[in-house]
Structure 1
Amino acid sequence: MIFGNAGNPKMLDPIFTDEGETYRITRQMLDTLIQNKPGTADLEPSLAEKWEPSNEGKTWTFSLKKGVKFHDGTPFNAKAVCFNFDRWFNMKGELAQNAMIYYGDVFEGFAKNEGAAKGDPVYKSCEVKDDSTAVLNLTKAKGAFPAAFTLPAFSMQSPDAVTKYKGDQVTGSSGAPTFSEYTSKYVTGTGPFKLESWDQAKGQVTLVKATDSPSQQAKVDKLIFKIIPDENARKQALKAGDIQGYDFPAPADYGLLRGDGEQVLIRPSFNVLYLGINQANNPKLKDPKVRQALAYGINREQFVKTKLAEGSDVATEFVPKVISGYTEDVKKYPYDKEQAKKLLQEAGATDLTLKFYYPTEVSRPYLPNPADTFTAISEDLKAIGIKVEAVAKPWNGGYKEDVQQLGKQDIHLLGWTGDYNDAGNFIGTFFGRQKKEFGFENKDLFKTLADADAAPAGDAHAQAYQKANKEVMEYLPAIPIAYPAPAIVVGPKVKGLVASPLTDERFNTVSVG
């Protein structure tokens, strides 16, 4: 099976990244304690056969599969589980901690905070009760669990391999960290495939079947991820039979692909596209009237109708409709060009110029064609009198560093595919603390989101996030644009691929006839 990736993975150790091109590959190599049932956001066992909360949600006991080994032949057991949790908690250095985006968001802090994470750590300790029982102790309950245990960032890796190849070594400078060779050559898990090679010059990652995998055995002997940045080139490679699939085909191509016999599999929408606003980089963006003007000035209905695929919808908030915590009772900003102009005039911002960043060499579930999206939104902004300075950068060539870590932009395109079924995975991830990407400080909003995160599961949890959604859309730190419904396409001979709302496709079930 040869799959066409839109871009190079950032690395192959998922704890140090949050991007999909990496996760698509590492999901095949590494297992989490709990996973999502194929095609859904429901939970099912993985390396843990059972999981039980106690102590009001501050203790989690995992009953582990027995007889499992990592690809290097070392045992997977409770000691290995605790090694992984302790590794993340005790990670040292600003560069390493800042790269651990999911750990910072979910666990909030480290043994010693040296980077962007400033909170008190949620993690307390991990106990080895016996070889097949690991007990995780937290300082407080979090509504994100147990679903957050499915995150690829929290995959179990071989303690021996991490130690031997210095997996925690991160050097370089802010915005340009350098990771050890472990992250490109020696990442070792328990998944159905294991790493054979990553030829970065050739743009190809090759995995081979792991015959001793505890999960379902792979049906193909080799799985290759071939990097093809241009979408049209990916399409032509599929038609020529050079690859057997690729992700996020352009909506305009669905009919042509199906006409050629390709299988276009539509995922349920579980994501959001937004226009990010960096208040720290441009003082005029601190004025709520200016942010509201941007919201009123974007014709989201027209954009969804003309640029996105079947099943997509206009976003009125940052949480998709299928997630508990969504509410219709938020402030809405329907397209109103005259209202936008009026607000800019009231704010004294009729001469506003904005540096508008957008990515290249990537296609994301929420952003199938970045250039087209940039063009559509920038034309809307120009129509209300805003001057746009375009800044295009490669996705894995500085874009995310510039907008998320350095905050160079005034406005930018980004989005999110949900990792698990919880509203906090969206608005908590975006706005739960001060971040370079948005450049604002709002302690009341941060507290509302922290309270929602700690609310017990069920109605109280959902209602707390509904309250948070209302506050977010009143404050308007960014602008939700759309809930796209992305697709994945495979050739006519491919069987067994299950499309996932989380883009959590597993290739061990795939065969090529």
Structure 2
Amino acid sequence: MTATKTTAAIALLAASTLALSSCASSKRDEGAKKSGNAANTSATLNFGAAGAPATFDPFYASDGETFRVSRQIFQGLVGFKPGTAEVAPRLATSWKPSADGKTWTFKLKTGVKFTDGTPFNAEAVCKNFKRMDSQNKAGQTASEYWLANMGGYNGAKDELYQGCTAKDAATVQIKISRPTSKFPALLGLPSFSMQSPTAMDKYKANNIKAQGQGFVYSDYANAHPTGTGPMKFQKYDKTNKTVTLVRNDDYAGDDKATVKKVVFSIIPDETARKQALASGQIDGYDLPNPVDWPTLKKDDNLEIRPAFNILYLGLNAKVDPDLKDLRVRQALYYAINRDQLVKSQLPDGATVATQFIPNTVAGYNKSLKPYKYDPKKAKSLLKAAGKSNLKITLWYPTEVTRPYMPAPDKIFNAIKKDWQAVGVKVTPKPLPWAGGYVTGTQNGNAAAYLMGWTGDYNTPDNFLGNFFSDPKGQMTVGAYPWGDKLHKALSDDDSVVDEAQRATAYEKLNKQIMEDYLPGLPISSSPPAIVFSKKVTGVTPSPLTDEHLWTAKVSK
């Protein structure tokens, strides 16, 4: 993929790997072979989904249920090696950056078609990027991943994307405004999947409208998503709460579907999903409750992913000015017994966080030690700040299970108890995850709140940039005098071409964030699990939740 030493450094910007042991999967496959169980190519894999996809157009999505479906029917220019966060070829076979890291040339697969028969080629790639960059007001609000990764639309001042050129049918060039560790990894995100230009035009993909706190999507997004992947969309049955995908017999990849159908049965309650697995109604589901792990290990095929996430307690001094004082933020941190919280509320393998990125990401500062549980010091800091009677409203989500936060109410109660022990009066604010919680925290309405992040790809910017680059919401740093300095450092460090130098820069920045700034409180990292019945093998668990369900082998 590279030609010179200079371009090699750039091409490796996003190639740090996160290894995942596939021993369990291999043993299961071997076991299936030994037992004589043959894969049934006419089988249906029925997967229990925690909720309905918000849309079937991944460009406008930010929810895991949409992305799970999208990953089966769409492909990007790049993807990720199964079981890792390592960038791998998909619709592009190779890529090479220019010496300055601002122009990327992709060689494309030939002979590939979208499932409506439209050829995939360089022209289709550029039509996709033109579509993504040309959004109305509602589209710009909905396409969170474009804004977070590209920084703007239609030639905006800070926009990363600068243009796409089809050099020939199998060669495309994408220009960006500066070198970045995001490239080419971000092109593997479901949001940047390649979609049929014909179908998007026919069903008016960009015809999105705002409605209340949500959106009204186009016919394309509701019923006609069209990709190049191993599965294709068949229907969404709202009455029976199922999404059905069928095998794409014209799929051009080597990893062809081993099942005829993948059906997502929408079962919001985690206990109900467990019961549905036990009864044979479904063949698997994601994020089983850690308390059920021992039973599921015994009776089913439970796979534990590596921890590629951060649970944090967000703080927003724009909402609560008391939080502007570093001593107050430090006191809140010292007051939390995180060792006990991790042991009592999180699954085996969870660890106390020392910073805002997991220890598998380049730029992790090994010298940083966790803030110790020290209620005495917490009280002393609050007294010194004149806040011994501090009052704070702490938001936490309901109706949700997240990889980093399996039981939000229990985590909230543990923190509340610790804070109250040092004299902090806590007012709880529970909200449904999809009923105001995510919107409220993203819009910067919460003073303190529980939130987390599972990495999209393996770069420090994918964590720190998402946490601190939004001037409006999340852990708003605009309320602090050092906010502009942090924003600049995030951009500068991300643009460092040399991998070793970039990692060193991020190590220094992580130390500064934790010791000098402390805009929020990183709590922990947790290994999430996924479970299938004994009759299912062949699905490799992914730290990115990028499971290829089409490779499932369902025994007869």
TM-score, structure 2 as length reference: 0.88
* Mapping 1:447-466, distance limit 5 Å: 447-466=488-507
Contact persistence 2:468–2:477 (CA under 8 A):
no
Match in the other structure for 1:86? 130
Match in the other structure for 1:151? 189
Greater CA deviation, 166-175 or 243-252?
166-175
Judging changes above 3 Å, is the alpha-carbon distance between structure 1 residues 413 and 448 closer, same or farther for their aligned structure 2 residues? Answer: same
* C-alpha distance after superposition, 1:177-219 (max 9, x if no partner): 3322322211111111111122335432111111112232111
> Given the alignment, which residue of 229, 234, 246 partners 2:273?
234
Q: CA deviation at 1:241?
A: 0.8
> Given the alignment, which residue of 146, 153, 171 partners 1:103?
146
* Mapping 1:396-415, distance limit 5 Å: 396-405=434-443, 407-415=444-452
Contact persistence 2:47–2:282 (CA under 8 A):
yes
Looking at structure 1, the residues matched to 220 and 521 of structure 2 have their Cα atoms a distance apart, in angstroms, of: 38
Contact persistence 1:35–1:43 (CA under 8 A):
yes
Partner of 1:142, secondary structure, is coil
> Given the alignment, which residue of 547, 552, 556 partners 1:505?
547
Match in the other structure for 1:116? none
* Mapping 1:413-424, distance limit 5 Å: 413-424=450-461
* Mapping 1:10-159, distance limit 5 Å: 10-93=54-137, 95-111=138-154, 120-159=158-197
**Which structure has the bigger radius of gyration?**
2
Q: CA deviation at 1:170?
A: 2.4
Which amino acid counterpart does residue 468 of structure 1 have in structure 2? L
Contact persistence 1:313–1:483 (CA under 8 A):
yes
Q: Percentage identity across aligned positions? A: 46
Q: CA deviation at 1:325?
A: 0.4
Greater CA deviation, 279-288 or 236-245?
279-288
* C-alpha distance after superposition, 1:28-60 (max 9, x if no partner): 111011111101111221111111111411111
Return structure 1 stretches of 4+ with deviation > 4 angstroms: none
Q: CA deviation at 1:22?
A: 1.6
> Given the alignment, which residue of 334, 342, 346 partners 1:296?
334
Greater CA deviation, 416-425 or 359-368?
359-368
* Mapping 1:173-212, distance limit 5 Å: 175-212=213-250
Contact persistence 2:389–2:423 (CA under 8 A):
yes
Corresponding position: 1:217 with 2:256: yes
Corresponding position: 1:481 with 2:523: yes
Contact persistence 1:143–1:457 (CA under 8 A):
no
Match in the other structure for 1:316? 354
Which amino acid counterpart does residue 235 of structure 1 have in structure 2? K
Looking at structure 2, the residues matched to 187 and 169 of structure 1 have their Cα atoms a distance apart, in angstroms, of: 14
Looking at structure 2, the residues matched to 375 and 310 of structure 1 have their Cα atoms a distance apart, in angstroms, of: 20
Match in the other structure for 2:468? 431
Looking at structure 1, the residues matched to 224 and 393 of structure 2 have their Cα atoms a distance apart, in angstroms, of: 40
Contact persistence 1:358–1:392 (CA under 8 A):
yes
Judging changes above 3 Å, is the alpha-carbon distance between structure 1 residues 88 and 457 closer, same or farther for their aligned structure 2 residues? Answer: farther
Looking at structure 2, the residues matched to 169 and 472 of structure 1 have their Cα atoms a distance apart, in angstroms, of: 41
Corresponding position: 1:286 with 2:318: no
Contact persistence 1:445–1:471 (CA under 8 A):
no
Q: CA deviation at 1:384?
A: 2.1
Looking at structure 2, the residues matched to 353 and 129 of structure 1 have their Cα atoms a distance apart, in angstroms, of: 61
Contact persistence 2:352–2:370 (CA under 8 A):
no
Q: CA deviation at 1:223?
A: 0.8
Greater CA deviation, 180-189 or 459-468?
180-189
TM-score, structure 1 as length reference: 0.95
Structure 2 unmatched ranges of 5 or more: 1-44
Partner of 1:397, secondary structure, is helix
Partner of 1:273, secondary structure, is strand
Q: CA deviation at 1:408?
A: 2.2
Which amino acid counterpart does residue 96 of structure 2 have in structure 1? E
* C-alpha distance after superposition, 1:108-141 (max 9, x if no partner): 221155xxxxx51111111111111111111211
Contact persistence 2:48–2:284 (CA under 8 A):
yes
Match in the other structure for 2:402? 364
Looking at structure 2, the residues matched to 287 and 186 of structure 1 have their Cα atoms a distance apart, in angstroms, of: 52
